[in-house]
Structure formats: C-alpha cells, structure tokens
Structure 1
Amino acid sequence: MRSLRLIAALAILLPLPAEAHRAWMLPSSTILSGEDGWATFDTAVSNDLFVFEHVPMRLDGLIVTGPDGNAVKAENATTGKFRSSFDLHLVRAGTYRASVANEFLFANYKLNGETKRWRGRVENFEREIPREAQDLKLTQSFQRTETFVTLGKPNTAALAPTGKGLELRADTHPNNLAAGETARFTLLLDGVPAPGIEVEIVRGGARYRDKPGEMRMKSGSDGSIAVTWPEAGMYWLGAEMQDDKASLPKARRRATYNATFEVLPQ
C-alpha cells in the first residue's frame, strides 16, 4: 500500500506533455436541481483522461467546501485498484468544491551505491533520511486536484482561494460554462497572481480521437487566462510550475493544479 501511494504521488509530478499521467476528479453531475441531491466523485491518475487504467488517487487530503464556505463531510469514501470514489450529499443550495490537496517532500539519493527514493513531510526529513546519504535531490511538492458541483443557484463562497500552492481563481463561475463562450480564470501562487504559468486543457474522450486536441497557453502578466470552449463536454485543466523557493535550502519547489469542468451546449 505504501508503494502504491508513492507511485500515485510520483505520477502526479510528471510533466504536462500529452503522454504523461494526469490526475483528475470527475463528478457524476455538476449541476443539480431540487431541495437536495447526491453526486458521486471518481478520482484517479491515468494516461487517458477519465479512464481508470493506472492508479487511484489517495483521498488523504480530501476537502469538500460547501456553499457557506465551511467543510462538508464526504460519504462512502473508498479506494480500489484503479480509482478512489466518494459520495456527497448536497443539502444546501449553492456551489460545492471538492479538492484533494497535499504537500509532500520528495527525496532522491544514493546510499551504499543504491538509488533510494523517499516521500514524507518536511518535518520528518532530518529524522528519516540517513546522514550518510549522497547526491541528495529534494523537491517540495504542492498538489491540488479539484472539481465543482452546484445545487440550484450558484454562488462563490466555496471558490475562495486558500492562499497556498497553485490555485485557480474563477473569474467566470466554473458551473456556468458553455460551448463557444470564453471563460476567464486567474492562476494564483500562494494567493498572488502568477504570470507565465503553463496551462494545458484537454476535452475528455481523447482515446477515441485521432488527435487529442489539447489547448496550451501561459498565464498573462496578471496571472489571467482566457479559454474559449470549442464544444460541449468534460474538460481537464492542468497547470504546473517549478522554482527554487522551497522552504528547505537547496530544494526545488513544484506546484501542480488540476481541475475538471463541464462545458454545456449553448
């Protein structure tokens, strides 16, 4: 089980090219009506978007934020061979955000001529890495994967940024997207607009197309991106950055953000 977690975590750290593994969360519905409702969420790391064929995403860092900005309990959480799932009972009108957010330190080093890998918390680093380790390379990783569901009239309390890691400020509501229209978002790094962040957007069902049809762009000087949706469907958005501003000396910082949106016909 420990090795499975490490594989999943390392997969999330892979770069953005089309052949890379992608982390995603997929809701059964994004817009519901009535006084209450249920949504089921699947989450995994895979080569093909929204297809269970690699490893599940662990739910250790799962946080669901309700329409009033407070935490909501997920139900029936389970992790299988290829995916993790959970249910959400929506009992209050408005928008919910489901996120898996984690912070880890990854180490690669050599010990007695053998290559070793370690994943853990920053505070455990000095205690768990041998002092005689050689060729030590550290990466401090911030990972966030999320999606959005609305019951009735949408609102924005659940969308407030946390101010930690790489996030997306929804200047256009994520449950109000339509084919042919342009949505505007802002990439934030630790709560501050982040320019020059590489973003990839892919519509689901790519395994059934000759060309994946990715859209690629970089955030502007104010961290903003504008996305014109070519057609209806479920879309994955991925962003990644790296720099040398980790909290540990000589460590690299890497932040990744993944989100799933439903784009409806006009």
Structure 2
Amino acid sequence: MKNIIAATLLALCSSAATAHTLWVLPSHFVLSSEDSWISVDLSAANMTFVADRGVSPNNLTIVFPDGERHAFAQSYQGKRKSQADHQLTMDGTYRIELAGPARYFTFFQQDGQRRRIAANKQERSAQLPANASEVLTTRSRSRALSFVSVNAPNQTALALSKEGLELKLLTHPADVVATEPVRWQFMLDGKPVADVQVELSREGELYRDDAGRELLSSDAQGYLTFTPQEAGRYVLEASVQLDSTDALTDRVRESLTLTFEAALP
C-alpha cells in the first residue's frame, strides 16, 4: 500500500512537471579560449527560455572533449531557475546533460480505480494485489542536452550511449547556421526510430504575437532535416511512445530536449 500511495503522489508531481518543457541553457555555445567558465541555466517552463520552475541540478553533468564525465563545480537550485558553473579547461566540444536513470512503473486496475507501483515486469508480480487487472508496465526517461565548443569542435562528447531516445548529430552543433539545412537522426536504444514528433521553438517568444513554433517529425529512418531561418537560440523538444517486447517493460516513453544556437550566415 505504501508503494501505491508513493507512486500516486509521484504521478501528481510528474504530471505537473511534464506540462513544462525541461531545458538547459548555457551562457555561451562557442568560446575561443581555454579556461573559460560556462554558466548553465536549468528550468522547466511553458514559454521558450522564460524561466518558470527551478529543477534539481543533482543529475546535471558535463562530458569533456576527451570523453570524461564530471559533476559541475558548483550549482544552485532556485525557485524560477537553477544554475551551475564549470571551467572548460581544454579545446573541443563539451556535452551538458541533465538526465536521470530510466524509471519503471506498472499501472493496473483495482476495485475500479487506476493505480500504479514503481516496478518493472520482473518485479511487479511480488507487488501487485491479487485482484489487479489491465496490468501494463512502462519505462520512462527524459534528458535535456546542450553542447558547447571551445576553439576546434570535436566528436567525442557527441557519442551515443545507445540507451533511450538520442540524437545522432550529423550536423555538428557548432556548425548550425541560419538559412542552412541541419540533418540529425533519432535513435532509440541505439537503433533508428521513425516518426518521432518534434517541436522546434526559438528565443524571443515572449515578445511575439505568434509563438512561431514549428512541428516536425523524423522520417522512416529516423532522420530529421530542418532549416533554422533566423540566427539565435533554439530548443528542440522530442518524444516517442512505443510498445515494447523487452523483458522489463511493455511500453517505452522517452523525451528529449536539445538547446542549440544557429549562428549568423
């Protein structure tokens, strides 16, 4: 019963959080000197880059150009936004990532009510009530990303983990330029995934009558091609929900946001 109550409370918190877009926003996307400091804002918000709710920086990491992952040197959680700082001590591309482990939840009907417990398919049998029906287990995961390059960009920090929803950045983030096409590929657990739904939005939404958001989707091979029409900072939000035959889950729910900058042509 305690597990069911805890899961119900978590569901209420999660629904509030999922109504907002989670993003990480670095102070700079391209730097020309080593030993520069980078500041990163974290928030969950309805409007692009207008901070609304500070989120925990505990799962925020930075991958250096040599592939080594580090915790941020200092961080702070605020009410509207959180912030973290780190020193970039080498040339190349850094990966900023806010991501926790995958979470498994099993949903079921009991006495006419919809309930859930924190358990995967292998764990659920020991926790489900005897009269549970319509049992379904989901795997949920979200990550927010951005990339910062110092002097010469490289590829090491762009490597995929082959876990969850990811972007294969065929166009390097440091090479995104307004009015030029960008080509990326969505991967799910290391394999191309088709028909990923995407929303692309640009900074300055607060000052426009039309939010100007663009709805896109990946093709049959997972490729996403688009052309940013104006220079500035963007956030790409993607999600996928698929049935699964995995030993641990019946359904996969994944979301990803990528913050990037389109340079002047």
TM-score, length basis structure 2? 0.84
Paired residue type of 1:263? A
1:80 lines up with 2:95 in the alignment: no
Whether the 8 Å CA contact 2:120–2:248 is kept in 1: the answer is: no
**1:158 aligned partner:** 157
Is there any run of 5+ residues in structure 2 with no aligned partner, and where? 1-5
**1:91 aligned partner:** 89
Whether the 8 Å CA contact 2:122–2:247 is kept in 1: the answer is: no
Q: Percent identity, aligned pairs only?
A: 32
SS at match of 1:82: coil
Whether the 8 Å CA contact 1:11–1:45 is kept in 2: the answer is: no
Whether the 8 Å CA contact 1:246–1:253 is kept in 2: the answer is: no
**2:3 aligned partner:** none
**2:25 aligned partner:** 26
Give the Å deviation of 1:138.
3.7
Q: Size of the alignment, in residue pairs?
A: 257
**1:45 aligned partner:** 44
Deviations 1:88-135 (A, max 9, x none): 2100111000111221124555667776565x5649954995635746
Give the Å deviation of 1:230.
0.9
Give the Å deviation of 1:204.
1.8
Change (3 A) 1:7 1:84: farther
SS at match of 1:153: coil
State which drifts further: 160-169 or 55-64.
55-64
Paired residue type of 1:67? P
Paired residue type of 1:64? I
State which drifts further: 201-210 or 167-176.
201-210
**2:236 aligned partner:** 237
Q: Distance in 1 between matches of 2:249 and 2:192?
A: 25
Paired residue type of 2:196? I
Change (3 A) 1:180 1:191: same
State which drifts further: 156-165 or 239-248.
239-248
Q: Distance in 1 between matches of 2:119 and 2:88?
A: 33
Q: Distance in 2 between matches of 1:177 and 1:204?
A: 16
Q: Distance in 1 between matches of 2:13 and 2:51?
A: 13
**1:148 aligned partner:** 147
SS at match of 1:148: strand
Q: Distance in 1 between matches of 2:78 and 2:126?
A: 29
